[in-house]
Structure 1
Amino acid sequence: MAGGTHGDWVAEAADRVMAEGRRRQADAPLVCASGISPSGPIHLGNLREIMVPHFVADEIRRRGSACRHILSWDDYDRLRKVPAGLPDSFGEHIGRPLTAVPDPVGCHENWAEHFKSPFRTALAELGVEVTEISQTEMYASGVYRDRILLAMRERARIGALLGRYRTAQVVEQAEEENETEDESAAGEYYPFKPYCSCCGRDTTIVDSYDDATTELRYSCLCGQKDALVLAASRGGGKLVWKVDWPMRWAFEGVGFEAGGVDHSSPGSSFTVGSQLVREVFGGQPPVYLGYSFVGIRGAAKMSGSAGGAPTPGDALQVLEAPLLRWIYARRKPNQSITVAFDQEINRLYDEWDALGRKAEAGEADPWELSARERSLGPVGQTLPATALVLPFRMLASVADLTAGDTAQTLRILRDVGDDVALESLDVARPRLDRAQAWVEGCLPAEGRTQVRGERDGERLEQLSAAEREAIGLLLAGLERNWSLAGLTALVYGVPKLQAGLGLDTPASPELKAAQRSLFVLLYTLLVGRDTGPRLPTLLLALGQERVRELLSPR
């Protein structure tokens, strides 16, 4: 998880959006848009759809300009498939609007709300404010009626434009975008897809449309034949995706939107939509950024849904909110992101802490400072932060060794250093809670630390003279070096003392080899294997009495 490349992509995008606003000469606030289909658990890849416009909208507000960030819930989309881990019986609802499908576990009003709810909670924790728009409600209210009628009048032009871009690749992509652009039996193109009045699915084919009466007649695979008068209807169907998207750009006055790179390729939704919004709906395409893939590593136990990718709520169990924001802020949208839940999480926290120290010392680059400021919270809001910043890897080791015992944890953390006055674990939260959650939810069983119940008498009897001397030097220095910094200097310094060198002597290759040998010996005697938590933390956790008991030759 190396740091992002130089360049403030947020500021550059905000410059473009504000310039576009001036060109349009619009008096209304600038609009940044996101769109998500709540067809299943809303995962960390979906979160990029929110975070890219969020940072741009936040930058515009920081400059003193009004800006709305709208989240358009595509909850009037069809259910395409049943997510892994949910009953196969829900397959009967495939083709119905997401708001017409029951909640899979019965705790919310419908399928869409079941997946929206935890995502809303995560956005609030991340400091992301959006204006939510339900497309079910928009279609049902009739506010799109004039634009639907316009699209139907212009169906030949729309069909011809789509036809110029239609390739086998685009058709395959369209299926992934919930696109169901069926033609009638006569081959005429219709941009409106009705939901069947009998079965509720979109397994329909338009048979005819009368421009004068706006009556649309259709047939469904279930056998139903019916008619819909579009000029008088509320709902009953929707525009297909490649037409619906540009229609909404014009309706909402969208000035900025981001989308997956698949929407940005030649012939994709954005290319087609940019022409449709101008030629059919009388609007302008937004400033657009395509964003790349979000990969996940080491999250086998983290997913909040069986078989699904981790959600923002899952990630916030182990990542502080500013840190999760930083993952998205520091990368340009066209760069891929990997969110690691394995041991790499320690490096991520280390990098974040190092950036904080650079910022305090005035040594950070401007683009680094901007990314950090945006990560700490949106304009006018600072997200909760840990008062006493301790290394995540150390807190995780303590959580592992104490199994979450608060009294033991407090005892160990009080010994971290002379400059730490730890009267309560609250000053180490929320990071301590994240570390405990990571140990419990992400650390494999084979990675957990099991301290020896009794001393390894056989190995202690086999100690060489040099090993015996090293352990003696370590035990002799415990009391006067009983702090994290002191024990760190001690365990690295024992081989130097054995070689007759000062503790400040730089480690040569020979000294590094001797240090590694000592560490393996200590791990073997303390936890029964050749690796484990960082030795200074392990020693602090065990306490002087237990360390002497396990290491003292007899």
Structure 2
Amino acid sequence: MASSAESDWVSRFADEVIAEAERRAPGAVIVCASGLSPSGPIHLGNLREVMTPHLVADEIRRRGRECVHVISWDDFDRFRKVPAGIDSSWSEHIGKPLTSVPAPPGSVHANWAEHFKAAMVTSLSELGVVYRGISQTEQYRSGAYREQILLAMRERHRIDAILGQYRTKQKTSTAEESLPEAVLAAEGSGAATEDDGSGGAEYFPYKPYCSVCDRDTTTVTAYDDETTVLTYVCSYGHGETVKLSEFNHGKLVWKVDWPMRWAYEGVVFEPSGVDHSSPGSSYVVGKQIVREIFSVDPPIGPMYAFVGISGMAKMSSSKGGVPTPADALRIMEAPLLRWLYARRRPNQSFKVAFDQEIHRLYDEWDAVGAKVQAGTAVDAIAYDRARRTAEIELPVTPRPLPYRMLASVVDITTGDPAQMLRILHDLDPEQPIDDLDEVRPRLDCAVHWVAEQMATDARTEVASEPDTELLSGLADDENRSLRHLVDGLDENWSLAGLTTLVYGVPKMVLGLPMDVAPSAELKAVQRKFFVLLYRLLTGRETGPRLPTLLLAIGADRVRTLVTPPA
């Protein structure tokens, strides 16, 4: 990872954005942008659409420059398909604006778009993302884009010619067909695959929503540039003649809408997913349209790669059941999730761990934190971006115990607060934990992970009675090992003490000093001893780390389960 601001990807983009903004309009507010379509769950791949400009905008604000991050909610997009898990009767709303579609069953929200937007709004707040949200429904219905719409309609022949340069390429290789399946997880707006307005006898870049049925299954049949009188017909048999200078119930097709917004908002920086960056895609075409039609330079910004999930090849919001930022924030602290996006360049893919890999991820995060404290970290910049923004410092756990330890404690105690506090109090007698709030919110994340993500076959169940058959058949060295363990429990009743004890018992049996370097023979004896303890304590050959397991079970019960019969 980068060791200085000069080689940090966020700082480099901030440099470029500031320079470009000064070239365009010296001293003006710098605008970075994202677009999200609340057509379904807004997943962790979509979060990269937000985190990339957020981090750049935050760096610009850290430098004392005024910078706004706008997030366009594409809630005026058409409802394209019914996601998995939703009643198929919702198909009757296909073609309507997302804000005109009823929310999913049981939702408290006013419509489909607000339902899926709400969870993301909450997650962005938890992640410390400062932004100005723009509802495209409100923009279009208020007439905010009136001049831009009329301009696009006047210039429809030029727009059609620009699009025509790419249509042949698209027929042989569409954006989705040309990309590996896993990369499609990096989709940006849900409108990426919409048509470009070339369906009728004449090209029109504007699509009305029918005033009768509210669907966009319409075809413009006539338009007069002077009077702005527009006539359309609907596939459901409706038709209407309106004045486009007064009509607010329609929108520009996506490949014209996006560059129009760049011009309208003065966007200097906006990243794009790989599905927007192939030949003929929205971003490539949009750059030409914004220059030639709206007379503005396109924003600068990188292509961002996909985000995966441990154990999953890809994620796409059209599939249903994909992990969202809210899901991730249930099992990991916000700074850790921010760190995953900050430490990788946008064109680098990475995975968010929902399985056992989260333990390693937390170990890595804690190790970086320790190096930052010691002044030896080479990736301190990304760590700092994860922990704080220009405006706030994100909450962290006061006593950040290893996540795997907390998960083990939760698992063994089935989340009982009193039992968890007993174990955590005994971890370090010199610095006892007297209140579970000392290990929150990390403890709460571990509780959620155990309950929602931990594999059933990985859960620990402590034996209720001694395995008398196993204890009766032990060899002499095994009996000696168990006696050494029992004899040392009280004296070593702490995490550090029990760690020394369980690794030291095999050394005692072999007659070796406690500080001897581990040999292959010693490691084999230790492993055999560990397996014996697991079998006696849980009936299995593996489990949570033994010192944690012993603390959780309690000294008296350990003695009962491992003491051979007289």
Q: Give the TM-score normalised by structure 2.
A: 0.93
Q: 2:337 aligns with which of 324, 329, 339?
A: 324
2:235 alignment partner in structure 1: 221
1:203 alignment partner in structure 2: 217
Determine if contact 1:404/1:436 at 8 Å carries over to the other structure. yes
After superposing the two structures, state which structure 1 stretch, 53-62 or 40-49, moved more.
40-49
Is 2:207 the partner of 1:181?
no
Q: Which amino acid aligns with 1:205?
A: T
After superposing the two structures, state which structure 1 stretch, 375-384 or 134-143, moved more.
375-384
Count of residues in correspondence between the two structures:
547
1:190 alignment partner in structure 2: 204
User: Aligned-pair distance for 1:183?
Assistant: 3.0
Whole-angstrom distance in 1 between the partners of 2:143 and 2:296: 20
User: Aligned-pair distance for 1:27?
Assistant: 3.5
Q: Which amino acid aligns with 1:117?
A: A
Q: Which amino acid aligns with 1:248?
A: R
Q: 2:298 aligns with which of 282, 285, 294?
A: 285
3-state secondary structure, aligned to 1:32 = strand
User: Aligned-pair distance for 1:471?
Assistant: 1.1
Q: Which amino acid aligns with 1:75?
A: D
Whole-angstrom distance in 2 between the partners of 1:338 and 1:550: 41
Point out where structure 2 has 5 or more consecutive residues left out of the alignment: 178-188
Determine if contact 1:525/1:550 at 8 Å carries over to the other structure. yes
Is 2:521 the partner of 1:510?
yes
Judged with a 3 Å threshold, the aligned counterparts in structure 2 of structure 1 residues 445 and 305 are, in CA distance, closer, same or farther, namely farther
Q: Which amino acid aligns with 1:191?
A: P
2:183 alignment partner in structure 1: none
Whole-angstrom distance in 1 between the partners of 2:192 and 2:241: 27
Whole-angstrom distance in 1 between the partners of 2:200 and 2:114: 37
1:58 alignment partner in structure 2: 58
Judged with a 3 Å threshold, the aligned counterparts in structure 2 of structure 1 residues 111 and 26 are, in CA distance, closer, same or farther, namely farther
Whole-angstrom distance in 1 between the partners of 2:466 and 2:222: 86
Task: After superposition, give the CA deviation of every residue in 1:289-329 in whole Å (9 maximum; x if it has no partner).
Answer: 111111112589xx999941111111111100101111111
1:153 alignment partner in structure 2: 154
User: Aligned-pair distance for 1:163?
Assistant: 1.1
1:18 alignment partner in structure 2: 18
After superposing the two structures, state which structure 1 stretch, 19-28 or 384-393, moved more.
19-28
2:92 alignment partner in structure 1: 92
Q: Which amino acid aligns with 1:170?
A: T
Judged with a 3 Å threshold, the aligned counterparts in structure 2 of structure 1 residues 216 and 184 are, in CA distance, closer, same or farther, namely farther
1:355 alignment partner in structure 2: 368
Determine if contact 2:408/2:544 at 8 Å carries over to the other structure. yes
Whole-angstrom distance in 2 between the partners of 1:172 and 1:332: 23
After superposing the two structures, state which structure 1 stretch, 303-312 or 327-336, moved more.
303-312
User: Aligned-pair distance for 1:184?
Assistant: 5.2
Whole-angstrom distance in 2 between the partners of 1:528 and 1:285: 64
Judged with a 3 Å threshold, the aligned counterparts in structure 2 of structure 1 residues 305 and 311 are, in CA distance, closer, same or farther, namely farther
Q: Give the TM-score normalised by structure 1.
A: 0.95
Task: After superposition, give the CA deviation of every residue in 1:509-541 in whole Å (9 maximum; x if it has no partner).
Answer: 221111111111100000000011110000000
2:418 alignment partner in structure 1: 407
1:547 alignment partner in structure 2: 558
1:165 alignment partner in structure 2: 166
Determine if contact 2:43/2:317 at 8 Å carries over to the other structure. no
Whole-angstrom distance in 2 between the partners of 1:231 and 1:527: 75
User: Aligned-pair distance for 1:495?
Assistant: 1.6
Is 2:394 the partner of 1:394?
no
Whole-angstrom distance in 2 between the partners of 1:490 and 1:171: 60
User: Aligned-pair distance for 1:25?
Assistant: 2.4
User: Aligned-pair distance for 1:284?
Assistant: 1.2
Is 2:242 the partner of 1:241?
no
2:394 alignment partner in structure 1: 383
2:479 alignment partner in structure 1: 468
Whole-angstrom distance in 2 between the partners of 1:4 and 1:472: 52
Whole-angstrom distance in 1 between the partners of 2:425 and 2:117: 42
Whole-angstrom distance in 2 between the partners of 1:305 and 1:393: 33
3-state secondary structure, aligned to 2:491 = helix
Q: Which amino acid aligns with 1:141?
A: S
Whole-angstrom distance in 2 between the partners of 1:304 and 1:204: 26
Whole-angstrom distance in 2 between the partners of 1:172 and 1:320: 34
Whole-angstrom distance in 1 between the partners of 2:74 and 2:199: 25
User: Aligned-pair distance for 1:380?
Assistant: 2.9
Whole-angstrom distance in 2 between the partners of 1:263 and 1:13: 20
2:185 alignment partner in structure 1: none
1:112 alignment partner in structure 2: 113
Determine if contact 2:61/2:67 at 8 Å carries over to the other structure. yes
Whole-angstrom distance in 2 between the partners of 1:69 and 1:63: 15
Judged with a 3 Å threshold, the aligned counterparts in structure 2 of structure 1 residues 296 and 175 are, in CA distance, closer, same or farther, namely closer
Is 2:451 the partner of 1:437?
no
Whole-angstrom distance in 2 between the partners of 1:433 and 1:298: 23
Determine if contact 2:75/2:136 at 8 Å carries over to the other structure. yes
1:74 alignment partner in structure 2: 74
User: Aligned-pair distance for 1:352?
Assistant: 0.5
After superposing the two structures, state which structure 1 stretch, 113-122 or 19-28, moved more.
19-28
Determine if contact 1:182/1:205 at 8 Å carries over to the other structure. no
Judged with a 3 Å threshold, the aligned counterparts in structure 2 of structure 1 residues 179 and 306 are, in CA distance, closer, same or farther, namely closer
Q: Which amino acid aligns with 1:341?
A: F
Q: Which amino acid aligns with 1:217?
A: T
Determine if contact 1:299/1:342 at 8 Å carries over to the other structure. no
Whole-angstrom distance in 2 between the partners of 1:107 and 1:26: 46
Whole-angstrom distance in 2 between the partners of 1:444 and 1:512: 28
User: Counterparts of 1:465-504 in structure 2 under 5 Å?
Assistant: 465-504=476-515
Whole-angstrom distance in 2 between the partners of 1:420 and 1:304: 46
Q: 1:364 aligns with which of 361, 369, 377?
A: 377
Q: Which amino acid aligns with 1:219?
A: V
3-state secondary structure, aligned to 1:287 = coil
Q: Which amino acid aligns with 1:24?
A: R
Determine if contact 1:184/1:207 at 8 Å carries over to the other structure. no
Judged with a 3 Å threshold, the aligned counterparts in structure 2 of structure 1 residues 58 and 279 are, in CA distance, closer, same or farther, namely same
3-state secondary structure, aligned to 1:519 = helix
Whole-angstrom distance in 2 between the partners of 1:277 and 1:371: 34
After superposing the two structures, state which structure 1 stretch, 445-454 or 176-185, moved more.
176-185
3-state secondary structure, aligned to 1:438 = helix
2:182 alignment partner in structure 1: none
CA RMSD of aligned residues (A): 2.1
